[in-house]
Amino acid sequence: MQVNMTVNGEAVSAEVEPRMLLVHFLRDQLGLTGTHWGCDTSNCGTCVVTVDGDPVKSCTMLAAMASGHDVRTVEGLEHDGELDPVQQGFMQCHGLQCGFCTPGMMMTARALLDREESPDEATIREAISGQICRCTGYTTIVRSIQWAADHRAGEAAEPEPAGDFDAEVQEDKTRGAEGAPMTVEEHATTGSAS
């Protein structure tokens, strides 16, 4: 069946099987591997993208259901070479550790900040409550989102010194915030292993 949608600001038309999930369409047909595929049961939230500005677990939505809608992935957060404040916040406040939940968390954060200018901690925690992070204990994720709220688009601060992190680790954090392949599997499937 034919699907037509906007993905990260670009018109996309493709033939898909009627049963194809949006997560697989984005990853396998469009090569947008920043959207992670975790549980396939809507429990972990690693696959969150926004559809018409609302966070959606893309493992629960058929690609056909997204037809006619505006889909945004982590790759679509960056604008004209500038990281979104959410991406910067995750770097500044160490909100990404292993990086697996990060794209989904950032998409939920962006949707929240598009609706609420200055959410409090309880609102942030509620927004991300449908997502699992096995590394951070959520504190640094909440701080990252608060940082982004304080540094709106166009007002983002210059990156702070990396502290104890060396340049290579800082580069890894930037790549993770941009949705670049972070796992061996992703490097293998995208051919970007170095």
Q: What's the CA gap between 78 and 155, in Å, rounded?
A: 14
**Continuous H helices in 22-166:** 22-24, 85-92, 102-115, 121-127, 139-150
**Tokens read off for 63:** 């690609």
Reported pTM? 0.81
Closest by Cα among 166, 167, 174 to 92: 174
**Tokens read off for 31:** 């090569």
Domains of the chain: 2-76 (3.10.20.30), 85-177 (1.10.150.120)
Residue 104 CB partners (closer than 8 Å, separation 6+): 35, 36, 44, 45, 46, 47, 48, 57, 131
Tens of pLDDT, residue by residue, the chain (194 residues): 999 999 999 999 999 999 999 999 999 999 999 999 988 788 899 999 999 999 999 999 999 999 999 999 999 999 999 999 999 999 999 998 899 999 999 999 999 999 999 999 999 999 999 999 988 889 999 999 999 999 985 564 555 544 554 555 556 666 667 776 655 555 555 554 43
